[in-house]
A and B are shown apart, each in its own frame.
Chain A
Amino acid sequence: MEIHQPIKYLVKVIPVVRPGQKTLFRIRHPENALFLSGIAVTGTFQGVFGDAGGRTDTTGSLSLAIPEQGDVFYTEDIKWDNYKGKDIAERNINQVFIPDVFAYGGGRYEYFETCIPVTEAILEGYYEDNSTPRYGRIGIGFGGLEREQEVLYLEGFGAVEDGVFSPPPIVVGRPDETRFGLYKITLYLRYQMKEVTP
């Protein structure tokens, strides 16, 4: 007798090993899947620079599409996981009475509820990292007094040195890849399965 399985989870792990990594991946739907009922994404990226205001707390963006239809049906900006269940804006608000760890202040992860019929065999996904620690070395100063200084680049803001904005620097070289921390993105897909007659 076949055993009926009402739902099935599928897990896809995407290792991110270099800054700005772009990953295209494909997922084969499980056999007997009726429709995709839930989507969740987690990431293990840890902030390198703490929680200072103005810095991004997004590690990258993920999208899912049905290739035959050219249809993107899900996109998500992945946040740092800080065990606090809050994003940067919330953490910058001084909340005296709310505990600051997930076990006390948070609830639990939930799936994004959806209903995507499984009509094709393959699902296509794309993840692009934008967590790159934008460290590098720049020349600061004028008139023969230039010195090289390690800075953090912020897109559109020039550089930040010890928390103070500097004028947009002349960039020397690329972001320092050795400061980049390996992390992984985990995609969870929850399927509603077809009834199987015993």
Chain B
Amino acid sequence: MSHRSKIIKEWVEVSVTASGQLIKNSIEVDKHAAAIIGIAITSSHDVMLYFRGSQRITINDMEIFPENYESKMLFQGVNIQANERIIGLGEELAPGNRKVELDYKDTDHPSAPFVPYKVRLYVFSRIDNKA
């Protein structure tokens, strides 16, 4: 019996429509996910995300990135290869209740006057297939 695994990429999105908003959203990862291996964050407006964003991320009710964790610390430029754009979590996490929550906070910054933007959190999971 061979054993194969593949990585799937799911996402949850928030739309920031006003300055200073705190927006919450969540997803449940795929029911076939055996482990959550990492995350990535992107935006429709990179400068907004870089300067104004901070977030709290929980997986399976466990706080992974605490409040005030700036988005710039998770932000990745195009110089990072596509396969390396997964920010690890120390080790693979059991999906548990499969819930991934994003609390995104927008904060004023002089270098980035507010315009509406979207932020997307990607969650990478590993699925094991027994063939």
Query: A residues bordering B, Cβ < 8 Å?
Result: 3, 5-7, 9-11, 13, 40, 42, 44, 46, 81, 83, 85, 101-109, 181, 186, 188, 192
Contact = CB atoms under 8 A, between A and B. Distances in A.
B111 A6 contact: no
Interface of B: 46-47, 50-51, 60, 62, 64-70, 72-80, 89-91, 93-94, 96, 109-111
Q: Which of A83, A101, A108, A186 has the most C-beta atoms of chain B within 10 angstroms of its own C-beta?
A: A108
Contact of B90 (A40, A103, A108, A192): A192
A173 B66 CA distance: 43
Nearest to B65: A9
A6 B62 CA distance: 11
A106 B76 CA distance: 8
A104 B47 contact: no
16 contacts: A5-B62, A6-B89, A7-B90, A9-B64, A9-B65, A11-B68, A42-B70, A44-B109, A81-B111, A83-B51, A102-B75, A103-B75, A106-B79, A108-B74, A109-B72, A188-B73
B50 A83 contact: yes
A10 B50 CA distance: 20
